[in-house]
Amino acid sequence: MSKKTSLKKTKESKIDSKYSMDTHLIYGKNVSNKWDYSHHVTAPISSSTTFRLDSVERGAEGFLQFAQTETQGDKQPIFIYDRLGEPNKDMLEENLAYIEKGEMAVTYTSGMAAISAVLGVLTKSGDEIITHTTLYGCTISLFNNWYPRYNIGVHPIDLTNLKNINSVLNENTKVIYFETPANPNMDIINIIELRKLVDKINEKRSVDNKIKIVVDNTFATSFSQRPIELGSDFTIHSLTKGMGGFGTDMGGVVIGKNKYRDALLLYRKDFGAVLNTKSAWAILTYGLPSLALRQRQQIKSSIKIAEFLENHPKVEFVKYPGLKSHPQYKIAKKQMLDFYGNFAPGSLIYFVLKGNSPEKTKENGKKLMNYVADNAYTMTLAVSLGHTRTLIEHPASMTHSVVPADKLAERGFEAGGVRLAIGLEKAEDIIMDLEESLKQI
Ligand SMILES: *Cc1c(COP(=O)(O)O)cnc(C)c1O
């Protein structure tokens, strides 16, 4: 991709390649016209906030080109200023769009910035959003603490039963937003069926008024699931997690149709949540090329660890999409697939400890966390996920502490629930540490 040959115009979303996705994760889609370094094998970190313009005419042309996807096409971009675009981010965006089967991608400074941007572009005052009950804690906080002042209504319902949509659907509904698998309880939403349902509702709506499906694909990563292929309009990721993979950089991305690229770029330019070039570079250079290797290893370990936990006498239940006991196992088998069609149930496990009351379970959960924090070599008490190291956390008191204790059940998870994000250690070592830690409660 470092060669500057002319790019044949191809239909963006459907490129038939003779190469495998493992290879494309390293090289990207094709020869990139964003590549500004003709003799480098690895792109240098583009650490320049501003760009030299050959003439005032070129500067003017650059401004005219910005956020003009339709007329710009595959033309070589004129770089002006980092907040508008620069080579590292632009190359990362090309690759992300390609692996996730979207037409375009726009990156942001974090996953939350990506969520705010896509919803900011799709809604205005008076509109309504339907969400699943279980969501990442800060997404709940965004909806509860900020959206009321924009007069945007948010309806959390149980989307594992799609019939529930009818109870909150109305002409102001503009977006259906959810995570699958959901953080932290691993609920799975049927994207294919939801697409059919939304298509029916949309039949009666004008082009500009159609409901959009937005999926947060952070838990699965592009390796294990591509929601756009299944029927979502947009996919977002926190690149901070499994996509970045090493826990060194924050980032977020919105992937979808070309039609929305300009609005997403303008939103980023004006609200300012620009992905740092150094982070874009790290995700492009380390994250994506190692994604397939990391995910395959983590999934293999996760299956072993989920089975171990499911058979452990101190564990009440385990929710992992790779276990037959998962309530939506059949849906998971249809939509969580790697690039080659193999079942890819991801690297996140949710489990609940036994205890004869919620208080007791919660106490056991805390005891386990504290023992792990002090003693376990292969598990670290920390939020985040998709790291090289296995991370364990207690959602009720950490990532989801925004949910009050009496609302946990309503939000679909347990006071004593534990979230385990499997890293790259040997599965047997993690199991050894889990076994030892579970003895303490
Ligand atoms: C972490 C996370 C986010 C937020 O991403 P940041 O990069 O931390 O802003 C959003 N959704 C899910 C499911 C997450 O796990």
Summarize pLDDT for 209-223 with one digit per residue, the tens: 999 999 999 999 999
216 in contact with ligand 1, CB cutoff 6 A: yes
User: What pLDDT, on a 0 to 100 scale, did the predictor assign at position 15?
Assistant: 55
Nearest residue (by CA) to ligand 1, atom 6, is: 111
pLDDT (mean) for 326-355: 97
The yes-or-no verdict on residue 7 having pLDDT over 60 is no
pLDDT (mean) for 41-47: 88
Residue 421 bridge partners (DSSP): 348, 391
364 in contact with ligand 1, CB cutoff 6 A: no
139: CA distance to ligand 1 center in Å?
8
Cβ atoms of 167 and 433 closer than 8 Å: no
By residue count, the chain amounts to: 441
pLDDT (mean) for 45-52: 91
Amino acid at 112: M
Cis peptide before 358 (omega within 30 of 0): no
Q: How many CB atoms lie within 10 A of CB 17?
A: 12
CA angle 79, 218, 382 (to 5 degrees): 110
pLDDT (mean) for 334-361: 93
In sequence order, which residues have a C-beta less than 8 Å from that of residue 421 and are 6 or more positions away?
Answer: 347, 348, 349, 384, 385, 386, 387, 390, 391, 392, 393
Q: Which atom of ligand 1 is nearest to the CA of 240?
A: 7
Residue 153 bridge partners (DSSP): 128
Domains of the chain: 20-287 (3.40.640.10), 292-438 (3.90.1150.10)
User: What pLDDT, on a 0 to 100 scale, did the predictor assign at position 289?
Assistant: 97
Closest to 264 in 3D by CA, of 77, 84, 118: 118
Nearest residue (by CA) to ligand 1, atom 7, is: 111
CA distance 249 to 179: 22
CA angle 267, 34, 71 (to 5 degrees): 60
Q: Which atom of ligand 1 is nearest to the CA of 115?
A: 10
Q: Which two tokens stand for residue 52?
A: 């030299």
Q: Which atom of ligand 1 is nearest to the CA of 219?
A: 13
Closest to 183 in 3D by CA, of 135, 227, 224: 135
In sequence order, which residues have a C-beta less than 8 Å from that of residue 135 and are 6 or more positions away?
Answer: 143, 156, 178, 179, 182, 183, 216, 411
124: CA distance to ligand 1 center in Å?
23
Report the relative pairing of strands 348-353 and 234-238 from DSSP bridges: unpaired
283 in contact with ligand 1, CB cutoff 6 A: no
Task: Compute the CA torsion angle 314, 343, 221, 437 (nearest 10 deg).
Answer: 20
Pocket test of ligand 1: the residue of 110, 131, 138 to mutate, having most ligand atoms within 8 Å of its CB, is 138
Q: Which atom of ligand 1 is nearest to the CA of 383?
A: 1
Closest to 21 in 3D by CA, of 342, 423, 345: 342
The yes-or-no verdict on residue 329 having pLDDT over 90 is yes
218 in contact with ligand 1, CB cutoff 6 A: yes
User: Helix H segments across 242-376?
Assistant: 261-271, 277-282, 288-310, 329-335, 358-375
Closest to 291 in 3D by CA, of 236, 326, 351, 246: 246
Pocket test of ligand 1: the residue of 109, 132, 136, 350 to mutate, having most ligand atoms within 8 Å of its CB, is 136
Res. 249 pLDDT band, cuts 50 70 90: very high
Q: Which atom of ligand 1 is nearest to the CA of 251?
A: 7
pTM value > 0.85: yes
CA distance 416 to 352: 6
CA distance 263 to 388: 35
DSSP letter, residue 39: T
Res. 331 pLDDT band, cuts 50 70 90: very high
433: CA distance to ligand 1 center in Å?
27
Query: Mind giving me the DSSP string for 190-259?
Result: -HHHHHHHHHHHHHTS-GGG--EEEEE-TTTHHHH--HHHHT-SEEEEEIIIIIT-SSS---EEEEE-GG
127: CA distance to ligand 1 center in Å?
24
Range from 12-16, 261-265, 400-404, 420-424 carrying the lowest mean pLDDT:
12-16
252 in contact with ligand 1, CB cutoff 6 A: yes
Cβ atoms of 345 and 411 closer than 8 Å: no
394: CA distance to ligand 1 center in Å?
16
Res. 109 pLDDT band, cuts 50 70 90: very high
pLDDT tens per residue across span 57-85: 988 888 888 999 888 777 788 999 999 99
Percentages of the chain per state (helix, strand, coil), in multiples of 5: 40, 15, 45
pLDDT (mean) for 379-407: 91
Nearest residue (by CA) to ligand 1, atom 5, is: 111
Q: Which two tokens stand for residue 91?
A: 């190359």
Range from 183-197, 254-268, 370-384, 397-411 carrying the lowest mean pLDDT:
397-411
The yes-or-no verdict on residue 41 having pLDDT over 90 is no
User: What pLDDT, on a 0 to 100 scale, did the predictor assign at position 355?
Assistant: 85
Cβ atoms of 304 and 311 closer than 8 Å: no
221 in contact with ligand 1, CB cutoff 6 A: no
Res. 404 pLDDT band, cuts 50 70 90: confident
Q: Which two tokens stand for residue 220?
A: 């699965």
pLDDT tens per residue across span 131-182: 999 999 999 999 999 999 999 999 999 999 999 999 999 999 999 999 999 9
238 in contact with ligand 1, CB cutoff 6 A: yes
396: CA distance to ligand 1 center in Å?
16
